[in-house]
């Protein structure tokens, strides 16, 4: 495999790892706030899934207006 073809996979792996680390940190902080880790875990998961849903909706709407999908990722 060439290096150029490995880079996107490595970036996705690193972003997923970062998300898991942030999720763990948020759960621990919210566990201190709520005193119960079940509530902290539920709130953390709800926030992460809401962010995923919002991001999918925004990028889904944006993808309809872009002719070239690769250029749409780079455009601000």
For the chain, which residues make up each domain, given as ranges? 3-74
Q: How far apart are the first and last CA of the chain?
A: 31
- Residues 11-38 have pLDDT tens digits of 889 998 998 898 888 888 888 888 777 8
Residue 14's H or E segment, with its range, is: helix 3-34
Q: How high is the pLDDT of residue 30? A: 86
Residue 2 gets which letter from DSSP?
-
Token readout for 23 is: 């999720």
Residue 64 gets which letter from DSSP?
T
- Residues 42-75 have pLDDT tens digits of 888 899 899 999 999 988 888 788 777 676 666 5
pTM over 0.75: no
Cα–Cα distance, 58 to 47 (Å, whole number): 16
């Amino acid at each position: 495999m060439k290096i150029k073809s490995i880079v996107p996979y490595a970036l996705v792996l690193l972003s997923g790892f970062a998300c898991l680390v942030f999720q763990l940190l948020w759960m621990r902080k919210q566990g201190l706030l709520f005193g119960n880790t079940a509530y902290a875990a539920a709130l953390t998961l709800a926030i992460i899934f809401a962010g995923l849903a919002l991001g999918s909706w925004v990028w889904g709407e944006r993808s309809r207006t872009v002719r070239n999908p690769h250029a749409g990722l780079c455009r601000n």
